[in-house]
Structure 1
Amino acid sequence: MLTADEETAEQAAAAAGGEPIEAEPQAAEEDRQAPEQDARYAELARQAEDHQQRLLRVQADYDNFRRRTQKEKEELGQYASAKLLTQLLPIVDNFDRAIAAAAGGGDSDSLAKGVDMIFRQLQGVLEQEGLKAMEAVGQPFNPEFHQAVMTVESDEHEEGIVVEELQKGFMLKDKVLRPAMVKVSG
């Protein structure tokens, strides 16, 4: 019994007026290529498995990195103020001493001087951290830096000028931490 390829070869040969062509040489060629193809397939399968394992390791490394980074970020958020608080502790100690001296019936002038010194010490620490007080009086009203609570009639100032500061505003480096609460000429 002939296969479909052999029948087609016989029909083509008969149509051309010749003898049927044998399909044996092609089958022999395919038999020689089969081991090479199997070896190539095995090599590609091994490479695919290697790449899959590498991918899994990289994914695991990335997941570990992400978890570690998240944990470090949380810890940083919890303890970010530790440096500032350490700088403020001597000021707290000085306030304790001032309160103890006032309770002991100390001189009011020396108490006032002591509190003034503590205040300057506190200002120094805050300035080291980048905190600056805004100068608002006499400046044109700017809603980015000022919070107007009232307008007043003023012959001394043009319209829209800050005439009085009710609460100081502060900048932290280049960002408004708290706007100044002001009265504006109207």
Structure 2
Amino acid sequence: MRIAETLTFRGADAGNHAAPLWLLAGEWVAAGDAVEHIESWWRIPAPLAWMTEVRYRTGGLDAAWPLLAELAWLTPERFAALLSVLGDASLTALRRRFDAEFPGTGEVDDYAWFAAWLLVAKPALEGRLREARVRREQAASRATALLGEILRREHEGDQHELVILRQEFSRLHAGLFEVYMATRKVQHQ
């Protein structure tokens, strides 16, 4: 494995980097160290997927949530593939529930919205998902951050501000907004 340490990240040739080799060997810390040497690794699909797996393997699902969200926003295909690699029963159950409930197209790109949907399904994860780096250019990322803000504001009771935030959320994804509002109608009956 010493030769793996000398491999540098070359984008298109990502499989020839040390990190995936360390992951295959079950050397989570070494894999994480290798990823951290890649400049702006969190903006590049392959290293982000590697680091997400490292976080999961070293800290469990709770530690991995922020990076799982970022991976879904950046590259839904890699997100879906990583869920299979991780083989986590609770993630698999959430994925099945998402597939059944999310008002999308049924294409892999729907997974970009997984984190936003997750806040509707499991609002207690808001604190963990708040740690994800928001990608302002991506609607699903903005929607997740906005929904986190809505959940925090619901506890404050500022109805005027909530109306404005909810309108903005509905413009980002009308179907997911309807799913969110359906959970609120049940709570207020």
Please state which band the TM-score falls in when normalised by the shorter chain. Answer: under 0.3
Between structures 1 and 2, the one with greater helix share: 2
TM-score (norm 2): 0.23
